[in-house]
Chains A and B, each alone.
Chain A
Amino acid sequence: MAFISFLAALIPLDGLGHYLHWGVIYISVANFIVIVLMILTFITALLAPFPGRSRRKESK
């Protein structure tokens, strides 16, 4: 329970949201973080080695 209270204090969700504003682009920090994480996941999925890939190529 104390750990949950600590987390809640660390990430205050009751206050006003934070927003980023560049010209016509107006986006919440939360949504911006999710988009950045999706882009990073996409790049990692393309570059990270897949387990057993070399073995599959040999059997092909």
Chain B
Amino acid sequence: MSTDIERQWTTRLRHRVAGKLPPEKVLPDTQPAYVASWIYVFGVATMSAMAVVIGTGFILALRGPQWWHESSVGHFVNSLHLWSVEIFFFAMVVHLWGKFFMGAWRGKRTATWMTGVVTFLASIATAFTGYASQSNFDSQWITTQAKDGINSTGAGAFFNVLNFGQMLMWHIVLLPLVAVILTALHVVLVRVRGVVPPYDDTKKVGEAL
């Protein structure tokens, strides 16, 4: 009987997850000494800005374009959404530079690095569809300028920047979902493999800290 239970996919998956990511790794009490540097705070700063982007995005989605263009509170929330995106990219670029120069892919951390890269690209696409969905002269200018470039790649067949409804759906449903799932995966991988040690601490590079 117990053998049957051990063979169940739920049991096997639970054992595998618990082995790779025990609770003390998910929410650790301490971090390695080398993490005590400002360069390590930009990943969390990026996620904090992302939380504000999503929160303000929810409010904008609830109230609609007329509200964000015409009311004072709408202008304020719209500006919060824009400026949190600016901080999001600012922090993400500094995080990227920091991780590049510390070789953050070392010690079997390729998947962590690559999920970060793809999240960066997905975030650019999310921001672009956001600029295309402003429903003002700015978005009109951006989309009419972008259409020729995107059409020349062939992507215009399924990604029409002049289709406001399609751009809005990409911006508020598909791309945020991709960005959030990839960010969650990125954080899980950081917790599984640990934060990459400095170059001069080579004996720890392969360890899952």
Contacts and interface: CB of A to CB of B under 8 A. Distances in A.
A54 to B, nearest CB: 9
B33 A57 contact: yes
A52 interface: yes
Q: Is the interface of B mostly helix, strand, loop or mixed?
A: helix
Interface residues of A, number: 16
Interface in B68-102: 86, 90, 93-94, 97-98
A46 B39 contact: yes
Contacts of A52: 36
A38 B93 contact: yes
Most buried by A among B37, B42, B98: B37
The range of chain B's interface size is 10 to 19
> Which of the listed residues A34, A56, A59 has the most CB atoms from chain B within 10 Å of its own CB?
A56
A45 B90 contact: no
A47 to B, nearest CB: 9
B38 interface: yes
A27 interface: no
A60 interface: yes
A1 B39 CA distance: 38
Interface in B2-39: 33, 36-39
| A-B residue pairs, 3 tightest by C-beta | A45-B38, A53-B36, A60-B33
